Chains A and B, each alone.
Chain A
Amino acid sequence: MQGYIYPNEFELQWSLLIVLYPYITGLVAGAFILASLERVFNVKEVQPTYRLSLLTALAFLLVATLPLLAHLGHPERSYEIFMTPNRQSAMAMFGFVYAWYLMVVLLVEIWFDYRKDMVAWYRDSKGFKRWLYYALTLGSTDISEKALRFDDSAGRWITIIGIPSAFLLHGYVGFIFGSVKANPWWSSVLMPVVFLFSAIVSGIALVLLLYMITTLFRWRPINMACLDKLAQFLFYALVVDFSLEMLDFLHRLYESEESIEILSQMIQSRLFLSLIVLQILLGTVIPLVTLGLFSPGLKRGGFVKVRPEAKQLVYLACAVLIQIGIFSIRWNVVIGGQLFSKSLRGLTVYKVEFLGIEGLAMTLGLLFLPFVILWILVKVLPPWTDQEVGRLAKATG
């Protein structure tokens, strides 16, 4: 503690779990928007990651609400927000945004995309698996040319609906913070936009990581064209994200509201590590410069030409740094917004507990859970294009 704080500001109400929540939702929105790129804008290079992005989005979406439920502490009451919708509450409305996104966008898109394969798997397998795939196809086993063409165009339409939905999903999270008028660190109309772009950055970086790791473990060669394209998108998204953040920063500086003094004090003391070092330096500037030099973002083939293996390592490092940076952004927003007193006269401290429902262990568990779900999803619905190519070749040949 430092200076004067109100008695009810001593303990932070929004803990580590609330940091996790926008982080995970951001990954969902980001992964989905990456998938949409391939679909709507027909970016052929990133095609190997299309399905992986969709499954990633789904795995993380299934976990997205868990931090909130754990934080609120009464998961058994959560259904009530669907039973008695409250239009006055942004938080309650999120339940519907979430349900819409899960049921109407993500599941249906995955269903249309996988239907052909599910039918094939259903026909190829026996016993329980056969029934599982049959159930998953909902009994729709027609894979005639006409039916497949319908799948494709339906999928495209859903993606088109899906993009604004993904924007809504994560924009909403920014909205929740941006609309807290009483908190000068949060209250900003730019908040949803900044959240959105940081979401895209984190989603692309995550899919890039997952793509590299899964290919590595399957002993397949990495598709360098795909990786370069991902890195290129990552670079562009990072540029926009960083400019928006700087815009927000300059805007605050220029406005110089009465809160500016305590906020700059907070940045210099409490948030120095997480904001200056982790978020800006390690999480943004270094990846930005590195990607600018190595990725084809600014110049075809990149300014610095190295062997593909080296380049892969560079991308890997950037993606990891970016994840750390984005997590720091969430931390700085959520925790930062509670570290200074609303009297603008003092700063408090936040100590993360280890065990307990809002502790570090819980957070790590929730962070790990989506990967378990993803692993199961990948087992049931393999997203690999190379295998598929092989199997299709076998089927037709």
Chain B
Amino acid sequence: MPEQVPRLLAVFLTASVALVIARSLLVPDTFGDIGHYRAAATDSVVAHQKKYAGHQECALCHGQIQEMRLAGNHRGVRCEVCHGPAANHVSNPLEVKPPAPQDREFCTLCHEYNASRPTGFPQIDPADHNPHVPCIACHEPHAPEPPGMPGDCSACHGQIARQKAVSHHSAVPCTTCHQTPDEHKVNPRSVRPSKPTERDFCGACHAQERLAGIPQIDLTAHNPAYLCWQCHYPHYPGTS
């Protein structure tokens, strides 16, 4: 055998032996016992101090809130997602108080409009959605309600409602003059309430002697050529 071969082989052998020795020294004992990692790593993870308690723990003392949450829309959002790691609070509830996020920025972390959120996930544009008012003023954080049907006409016709509220007609409900199907509140543009069309409609209150306290006119004499609302704004009637 030429002398080059044993010398080269010696180098490779040394390198291989060095590798084997290095492996036996450097590879942790439990490496590969379970998978391609150090099995004892699980123990070192277990040894870490616990920071999160888990939502079942909270239920022991905050049962009501837990029930409320599980029945509501935030049933999938665990307590500590909002209140932060609270293991210390569980072991020492009076000394350690977890924070309760009250500002709008917190809710918008999840609810601000973002095209990458799944379709159908409830999202709002914080600049438009009731700005400057804390979200929790309207939504109970533990069981937020989906957009319910607004009960009052004022939700949408604020201007008219405010005017009417300080007018002579404050006591007259909107629906006396506008027959409003419920569907109007959901699809306002396609389903429209009725509007008075003739003088007789106003006359029902204003041309009847018998209705006490209501200013009266004579329907036949009082500007008969015109509709009443051409001179009197019905939501804020005046005489000038």
Residues of A within 8 A of B (CB): 4, 6-7, 79-80, 82-84, 86, 88, 103, 108, 111-112, 115, 138-140, 142, 146-147, 150-151, 154, 343
Contact = CB atoms under 8 A, between A and B. Distances in A.
Contact of B31 (A84, A103, A138, A142): A84
A82 B26 CA distance: 11
B137 interface: no
20 contacts: A4-B115, A79-B22, A79-B26, A83-B23, A83-B27, A84-B27, A84-B32, A88-B36, A103-B12, A112-B4, A115-B4, A138-B7, A138-B8, A140-B3, A142-B3, A147-B3, A147-B4, A150-B4, A151-B4, A343-B116
Contacts of A88: 36
Given A7-B116, A103-B12, 12 more contacts: A6-B116, A79-B26, A80-B26, A83-B22, A83-B23, A108-B8, A138-B8, A139-B7, A140-B4, A146-B2, A150-B2, A150-B4
User: Which among B4, B8, B22, B114 has the greatest number of chain A C-beta atoms within 10 A?
Assistant: B4
Contacts of A147: 2-4
B11 interface: yes
Q: Which range contains the number of B residues in contact with the other chain? A: 20 to 34
A140 B23 CA distance: 30
Contacts of A80: 26
A82 B7 contact: no
Contacts of B10: 138
A86 B26 CA distance: 16
Contacts, number: 45
A145 to B, nearest CB: 12
B7 A140 contact: yes
Contacts of B32: 84
A138 B27 contact: no
Contacts of B12: 103
B191 interface: no
Contacts of A150: 2, 4
A108 B9 CA distance: 11
Contacts of B4: 112, 115, 138, 140, 142, 147, 150-151, 154
B15 A103 contact: yes
B36 A84 contact: yes
B154 to A, nearest CB: 38
B19 interface: yes
Nearest to A139: B7
A245 to B, nearest CB: 34
B175 to A, nearest CB: 45
Interface string B17-50: 0010011001100011000100000000000000
A138 B19 CA distance: 20
Contact of B36 (A4, A86, A103, A138): A86
B111 to A, nearest CB: 15
A128 to B, nearest CB: 21
Contacts of A151: 4
Given A84-B32, A146-B2, A138 B11 contact: yes
Interface in B121-170: none
